[in-house]
Structure 1
Amino acid sequence: MTGNGVNVVDVAIRRSSCSSESLRTMVEMCCRCLYEDPVDRPSMEDLLWNLQFAAQVQDDYHSSDASPISPLQPSGQLVIQ
């Protein structure tokens, strides 16, 4: 995951059991939120969908012992623990 912004993530998080796909999605969304032109920033709907995706990827990563996952379809509610 080098060269795609992950270097800004705290080392403790990178070394944790966080899935690389989940982390990559969160970093990408953070970077997109910082675009100078507001038109280029993600909508709240897009942001929430991607955060739901990252959470689902992380849940699947933990529940399947890092086995491959299938793509998530947008559905459900955002659950913050």
Structure 2
Amino acid sequence: KTLIVWKLTRDEANYGVPQKRLYGHSHFISDVVLSSDGNYALSGSWDKTLRLWDLAAGRTTRRFEDHTQDVLSVAFSVDNRQIVS
């Protein structure tokens, strides 16, 4: 139900530090991908929705609700102008 954005570190005791927690889905998140510019994340969930996240703002910018079943995978096109689920 929650996405966590991690900052990777080189520390042997701690490989990453959570930077942001993104809340919004009401069921398990099945897939998440980053846009090629790193500004957005796209997530798909068993709640039958996709969410487009603005990572700098830490919020959902778009919600897609046309699925009738769980969303199992998501992807951006190479130019970030299309998504597919």
Q: Verify same fold: TM over 0.5.
A: no
Which structure has more relative contact order (CA 8 Å, sep 6+)? It is: 1
Instruction: Identify, as 1 or 2, the structure richer in strand.
Output: 2
